[in-house]
Amino acid sequence: MEPGRRMTLEQLRIFVAVATRLHVTQAAQALNLTQSAASAAIAALETQYRTLLFHRIGRRIELTDAGRLFLVEAQSVLQRATDAELVLGELAGLRRGTLVLWASQTISNYWLPPVLWQYRQHFPDITLNLSIGNTEQVVAAILAGTAELGFVEGAVADPGLRQTDIAGDEMALVVAPSHPWARAAPERPADFAAGPWVLREPGSGTRQVFETALAALGLRPGDLSVALELPSNEAVCSAVEAGAGATVVSHFVVAAALEAGRLRRIPLDLPPRRYSLVRHGERYLSRAAQALQSLIFRGEPMA
């Protein structure tokens, strides 16, 4: 074999066409080539690998033993190439594939499911793989390349990521009906500092918004009396309903408990929270991810 030379798919196609017809002219016509081009491709293979593929008997050709063995392999390679082209075509046409997503808890439990169902209606053959974590975990997955798109409630500071607002959220300060604030709402910053509080863990978007509200009151996180830090909205709400303290969470999370009277909302001017989509600024976005973006921002699955 000549250094630096590799056989091509075109050479394999020509060889298979000739080998299955045992006729160079017919093979060339089937491939829309000249007879000389087909003959040259076969000769190049034989020369390149120093192996005779055909016996030339008068005006006829026959496969050698090496040619028969090579035909099986060549056909297999061409079939694999055809399969690969089919996969790419299906991926481009959104008829196959997997879209990996990460989302923070409130988004994944309340805002995102209807969007994913609408996406599923358009692209039933795309597998949606959703993982749930806090904002820091979502960002880590996007940076590591283990997810294409992320959905977060907090601000993202990494310059390598693109963050785009997609929806809004209203935050609420809530307590159990037995809590003293249910009878007399706190008025001074010192009242808020007294607590006790039940909070989401550091790194969550909910915690981030709460600490922003604290700063507006002139308070720091360390000024609070924190009874519990819990890793889920549901755990926080259960603890608050049991009387463990006050919390600030999405209104989506506590709407049912407020309506049922299990929690009471305390007046507090809280900043609105934005939901946002996060992606890596330098990584290629698959057609499946592009379609979801289009559905979210334009109301249509594709541009």
Reported as a single tens digit per residue, the pLDDT across 69-81 is 999 999 999 888 8
Please, which pLDDT band fits residue 303 given cuts at 50, 70 and 90?
A: very low
Tokens of 169: 């959220």
Judged against a pLDDT cut of 80, whether residue 88 lies above it is answered with: no
The phi, psi pair for 45, rounded to 5°, reads -65, -45
Helices 9-21/65-92 angle, 10° precision:
130
Domain 171-271: CATH architecture, name and number where available: 3-Layer(aba) Sandwich (3.40)
Please, which pLDDT band fits residue 165 given cuts at 50, 70 and 90?
A: very high
Please, which pLDDT band fits residue 302 given cuts at 50, 70 and 90?
A: low
Domain 97-167+274-298: CATH architecture, name and number where available: 3-Layer(aba) Sandwich (3.40)
Higher pLDDT, 15 or 193: 15
DSSP 275: E
Q: What's the confidence (pLDDT) of residue 293?
A: 94
Q: What's the confidence (pLDDT) of residue 47?
A: 93
Distance from C-alpha of 289 to C-alpha of 19, rounded to nearest angstrom: 44
Q: What's the confidence (pLDDT) of residue 285?
A: 85
Distance from C-alpha of 255 to C-alpha of 261, rounded to nearest angstrom: 10
Residues of the chain with CATH 3.40.190.10: 97-167+274-298, 171-271
Kindly report the CATH number that applies to the domain delimited by 9-92. Answer: 1.10.10.10
Higher pLDDT, 192 or 241: 241
Mode of pairing for the β-strands spanning 226-230 and 149-152: unpaired
Distance from C-alpha of 281 to C-alpha of 295, rounded to nearest angstrom: 20
Helices 9-21/35-49 angle, 10° precision:
110
Mean pLDDT of 234-262: 94
Rg of the chain (C-alpha set) = 32
Q: What's the confidence (pLDDT) of residue 90?
A: 65
Average pLDDT, rounded, for the chain: 89
Residues of the chain with CATH 1.10.10.10: 9-92
Of all residues in the chain, the percent with pLDDT exceeding 90 is: 56
Burial class (CB in 10 A: 0-12, 13-18, 19+), 298: exposed
Judged against a pLDDT cut of 50, whether residue 15 lies above it is answered with: yes
pTM over 0.85: no
Q: What is the pLDDT of residues 260-299, one digit of tens each?
A: 999 999 988 888 888 999 999 888 888 889 999 999 998 8
Please, which pLDDT band fits residue 194 given cuts at 50, 70 and 90?
A: confident
